[in-house]
């Protein structure tokens, strides 16, 4: 068996990542919105996608573009299996890509909706039995970033990428 857990990052790393990478949400029609600013303690405690009052400015049609091949499976801790309550900190801690320096936004594009979703594969089942949901997160960069990206990649002691 394997251990299921969300990587830990320091408060400084979390602040730095949140300053660079912001959550976006989509409405029922597929329109995307930036979320209004969160306080630091809310990054770890608030289900960021629950409060429709947090929706801020719309994301313009050509403002962001997805990073190709960078969608990833993200685990979200649950207290009750029927409530999907992702925090910004949970997602930011799991962004582990050499492209992290150009990531500017993230969006949950798939999450469990039905009980069958908990048991899609034996891996989903093991993760669910460890009190986590599995979601798919899409990473975005600014479509009009004009500077050249230099991927001088830094890693921590465990080999995870650092912003």
Cβ atoms of 128 and 118 closer than 8 Å: yes
Nearest 5°: phi and psi at 72? Answer: -145, 155
Cβ atoms of 35 and 25 closer than 8 Å: yes
Sorted by sequence, the CB contacts under 8 Å of residue 125 that are 6+ apart come out as: 118, 119
pLDDT tens digits, 34-85 = 999 999 999 999 999 998 889 999 999 889 999 988 999 999 999 899 999 9
Q: Calculate the average pLDDT of the chain.
A: 89
* pTM higher than 0.85: yes
Name the domain count of the chain. Answer: 1
69 assigned to some structural domain: yes
- Three-state DSSP at 33 gives strand
2 assigned to some structural domain: no
116 assigned to some structural domain: yes
pLDDT tens digits, 75-91 = 999 989 999 999 999 99
The helix or strand, by DSSP H or E, that contains position 91, with its residue range, turns out to be: helix 88-94
> Could you give the maximum distance between any two Cα atoms of the chain, in Å?
46
- Structural domain boundaries, residue 67: 11-143+152-162
């Amino acid at each position: 068996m394997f251990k299921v857990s969300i990587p830990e990052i320091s408060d400084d790393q979390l602040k730095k990542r949140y300053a660079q990478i912001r959550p976006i949400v989509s409405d029922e029609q597929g329109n995307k919105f930036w979320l209004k600013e969160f306080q630091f303690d809310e990054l770890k405690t608030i289900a960021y996608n629950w409060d429709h009052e947090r929706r801020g400015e719309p994301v313009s049609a050509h403002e962001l573009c997805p990073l190709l091949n960078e969608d990833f499976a993200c685990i979200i801790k649950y207290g009750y299996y029927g409530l999907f309550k992702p925090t910004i900190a949970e997602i930011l801690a799991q962004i582990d890509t050499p492209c992290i320096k150009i990531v500017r936004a993230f969006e949950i594009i798939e999450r469990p909706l039905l009980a069958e979703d908990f048991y899609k594969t034996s891996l989903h089942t093991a993760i669910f039995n460890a009190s986590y949901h599995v979601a798919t997160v899409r990473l975005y960069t600014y479509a009009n970033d004009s500077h050249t990206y230099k991927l001088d990649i830094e890693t921590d002691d465990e080999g995870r990428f650092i912003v």
